[in-house]
Amino acid sequence: QSALTQPASVSGSPGQSITISCTGTSSDVGSYSLVSWYLQHPGKAPKLMIYEVTKRPSGVSIRFSGSKSGNTASLTISGLQAEDEADYYCSSYAGTSTLVFGGGTKLTVL
Amino acid sequence: EVQLVESGGGLVQPGRSLRLSCAASGFTFDDYTMHWVRQAPGKGLEWVSGISWNSVSIGYADSVKGRFTISRDNAKNSLYLQMNSLRDEDTALYYCAKGEYSYMDVWGQGTTVTVSS
The predicted pLDDT at position A2 comes to 86
Do the bridges between strand A105-109 and strand A9-12 make them parallel or antiparallel, or are there none, so unpaired? Answer: parallel
Q: How many angstroms separate the CA of residue B37 from the nearest CA in chain A?
A: 10
Residue A52: pLDDT over 90: yes
Residue B111: pLDDT over 80: yes
> What's the mean pLDDT in A12-27?
97
**A34–B46 C-beta distance less than 8 A:** no
> What's the mean pLDDT in A48-76?
97
Say whether residue B102 is in contact with chain A using an 8 A CB cutoff.
yes
- Return the percentage of chain A with pLDDT > 70, whole number: 100
pLDDT band at A49 (very low <50, low <70, confident <90, very high): very high
- CA-to-CA distance for B29 and B5, rounded, in angstroms? 13
Q: End-to-end CA distance of chain B: give it in Å, rounded.
A: 40
- CA-to-CA distance for A3 and A91, rounded, in angstroms? 9
For chain B, counts of helices (H) and of strands (E): 0, 11
**B103–A52 C-beta distance less than 8 A:** yes
The predicted pLDDT at position A39 comes to 98
The predicted pLDDT at position B71 comes to 98
Q: Report in angstroms the alpha-carbon separations of A40 from A47, A49, B16, B109.
A: 6, 10, 31, 12
The predicted pLDDT at position B13 comes to 97
Displacement of CA B59 from its chain's centroid (Å)? 12
- CB A92 within 8 Å of CB B101: no
> What's the mean pLDDT in A88-107?
96
**B60–A91 C-beta distance less than 8 A:** no
The predicted pLDDT at position A76 comes to 98
> What's the mean pLDDT in A4-14?
97
CB-based contacts of B103, cutoff 8 Å, min separation 6? A34, A36, A48, A51, A52, A91
pLDDT band at B66 (very low <50, low <70, confident <90, very high): very high
Q: How many angstroms separate the CA of residue A55 from the nearest CA in chain B?
A: 11
**A45–B61 C-beta distance less than 8 A:** no
> What's the mean pLDDT in B49-78?
97
If phi > 0 it is left, if psi is from -120 to 50 it is alpha, else beta; for residue A96 that is: left
